[in-house]
Amino acid sequence: MTERKPLGMTFESWIDRQIRVAHERGEFDDLDGAGEPLPGAGKPLEEQWWVKGYIDREGLSGEALLPTPLQLRKEIERLPETVQQLPTEQAVRETVSDLNRRIVEWLRSPSGPRVPLSTVRVDDVVERWRGERSTPPPPATEPAPARPMSRWRRFTRLLSGKR
């Protein structure tokens, strides 16, 4: 258990004394990075450096920090590449419908910057998907009913960079 600070002693001198005693006992020997300079030492701190460091350490995409309307706008822009890899027309329709549902959800209670957004026409995306398909689709099988994704799971997937 940590000892209590003696009366009449300042916190700074008490902490310095604890560090000196621990150093004399060798408790700081063999620590990772011992004797190496601190990363970023001598460089000026950027605004929100800790957020940038967290994103880098965790391997996250910076898009997770964007406001919802900008995330949706980027998702609309990437939609052709997203649906290109899908195997069936039903999967394309479900993907576009999910995106449209989230757009409508945001339009009903907007937060963040005012960005003009509108839903995506499902038939247009399906027609483009059909035109880009070079091979006939595999025979359709009855997919298992998909469990709706909770907001928390969607949020954690966005943070991890998965779609």
Consecutive 10-residue averages of pLDDT for the chain (163 residues): 71 80 87 80 82 85 84 93 91 94 91 87 91 68 68 71 62
* Residues whose CB is less than 8 angstroms from the CB of residue 61 and which lie 6 or more positions away in sequence, other chains included: 55, 161
92 burial level (CB within 10 Å; 0-12, 13-18, 19+): buried
pLDDT for the residue numbered 136: 58
pLDDT for the residue numbered 103: 93
Residue type, 127: E
Q: How far is Cα of residue 24 from the mean position of the Cα atoms in its chain?
A: 43
**Tokens 């822009």 map to which residue?**
77
**Tokens 């989230």 map to which residue?**
102
* Residues whose CB is less than 8 angstroms from the CB of residue 74 and which lie 6 or more positions away in sequence, other chains included: 63, 66
Angle at 14 between CA 12 and CA 18, to 5 degrees: 115
N-term to C-term CA, the chain: 47
96 burial level (CB within 10 Å; 0-12, 13-18, 19+): buried
- The verdict on pTM exceeding 0.75 is no
